Amino acid sequence: MHTVFQVELKDGTVLHCILCKEDGNKKELSIAGSDRIQTIIESSKQRFDDLHEDLETRLLADKHLEALCYRDCASMYTSKSRIKRLLDKMRASKICSKTSASVRINNLRLQATLPFMR
């Protein structure tokens, strides 16, 4: 990865990190090459977010695609342990919502069968 500071285009548009969307005011932005972008795409798919959709389309159109990102953001986003933690949270949340839904259904059934609970 090459390192660059805030990038401002001639029209005044400021380019930013593709992951956190912050510009390069506080830290150095790095230029991620196609290999790093491919890793980000794979991580996006594992995370079930939609970042990979745009990146994949752009990478197919340009095999030498480069994108700006912070090294920290790219490392954290592609970290296997962070992805695992995220998926574990998603599973736990799904289990909790299923459990609470089944408890509500059982309570409704119980209320329907017991006249004193109405």
pLDDT digits (tens, 9 = 90+) for 8-65: 556 767 678 889 888 767 678 889 999 999 999 999 999 999 999 989 998 998 888 8
- My answer on whether 84 and 60 are in the same domain is no
Residue 113 vs residues 39, 106, 117, 118: alpha-carbon distances, Å: 55, 11, 9, 9
Q: Which domain holds residue 71?
A: 1-78
**Predicted local confidence at residue 80, as pLDDT:** 96
Q: For residues 32 and 67, give the distance between their C-alpha atoms in angstroms, rounded to a whole number.
A: 5
- My answer on whether 10 and 66 are in the same domain is yes
Number of domains in the chain: 2
- My answer on whether 5 and 51 are in the same domain is yes
The residue count for the chain: 118
- My answer on whether 86 and 61 are in the same domain is no
- My answer on whether 5 and 52 are in the same domain is yes
What's the mean pLDDT when you consider all of the chain? 79
- My answer on whether 16 and 54 are in the same domain is yes
- My answer on whether 85 and 113 are in the same domain is yes
Q: For residues 86 and 47, give the distance between their C-alpha atoms in angstroms, rounded to a whole number.
A: 7
Q: What share of the chain is helix, strand, coil (3-state, %, to 5)?
A: 60, 15, 25
- My answer on whether 25 and 73 are in the same domain is yes
> pTM higher than 0.85, yes or no?
no
